[in-house]
Amino acid sequence: MLHLNIQNETSRLRAVVLGIATHNGPTPTLEQCYDPKSKIHVKAGTYPSEHDMIIEMESVAKVFEKHDIRVYRPKTIDNYNQIFSRDIGFVIEDKFIKANILPDRDQEIEAIDYILDEIPNDNKITLPEECHVEGGDVMPWNNYIFIGTYSGEDYPDFITARTNMNAVKAIQELFPHKIVKSFELRKSNDNAKENALHLDCCFQPIGKNMAILHKNGFLIEEEFKWLVNYFGKENIFEISKDEMYQMNSNIFSISEDVVVSEQNFTRLNSWLQAKGFKVEKVPYKEIAKQEGLLRCSTLPLVRD
């Protein structure tokens, strides 16, 4: 049996699902793209190749093995993008909550059935159909659960709006002892620099009391200020619109003092090292072209 345990984003990682890039399928058409950044690269002819993405993902697998982390991979589905395992589900405490994601992607969860079979049935939760949620929007942080959402009336018009208020309410009901705090995110189907696809595209807690933040990702300034006050200005690394576009907030914590980051994030990586973090640098710029990075392609199952 797999004993799930996730209380926050940064405790020592013991088991994780890492996506795969094999048999990823051909470059999508513009109509098949789920986010504005992929569209840019499809148009420019710079969409990442399967070969390059496999190399990048294996570099992360090697870092996990070096740190003695149990790494699960999805079973391969031919011609199917299975890189972003964070989207298909998430763990809070000892519960695995299945994401309600875009209908085109519902096979992805089947590829990890062999892992879900190790989890007791009582600890697997499927939310009602009207609750839309993806793992990139959900962050357990000790007494809190932070959730990115979009509640505008034009929600159905945004393929980039992935988590609704129904899901926020359902998660609050599941974890009544936690404080669920939701944040309205800026959405755009066409402008990648004005789109926070998920909460982890503009915010991520690191260490014990630090965070990476991008102000423009938040629609409501008061909600952004709440985070600044909560973590303290001196503990925040604020990223620019360009750095948000490159996915600087989407790194991944192995522990409170070890993070995995993209090797080209020079400003961020220097700051992290100055704050005492060990930074495991990996190449991930090709995968970033699909508006996802290290947090998006990992699904933590067990932390200490």
Mean pLDDT value of segment 181-186: 95
Cα–Cα distance measured from residue 8 to residue 12, given in angstroms and rounded to the nearest whole number: 10
DSSP letter for 127, please. -
**pTM for the predicted model, two decimal places:** 0.93
Split at pLDDT 50, 70, 90, the class of 9 is very high
Q: Is the dihedral of CA 42, 214, 285, 256 positive or negative?
A: negative
Q: Which domains are assigned to the chain?
A: 13-303 (3.75.10.10)
Split at pLDDT 50, 70, 90, the class of 29 is confident
- Is the confidence at residue 34, as pLDDT, over 70? no
pLDDT digits (tens, 9 = 90+) for 76-116: 998 888 999 998 999 999 999 998 866 667 788 999 999 99
Identify which has the larger pLDDT, 31 or 63: 63
Structural Rg of the chain based on CA atoms: 18
pLDDT digits (tens, 9 = 90+) for 214-260: 999 999 999 999 999 999 999 999 999 999 999 999 999 999 999 99
- Burial class of residue 224 (count of CB atoms within 10 Å of its CB; 0-12, 13-18, 19+): buried
Percentage of the chain exceeding pLDDT 70: 96
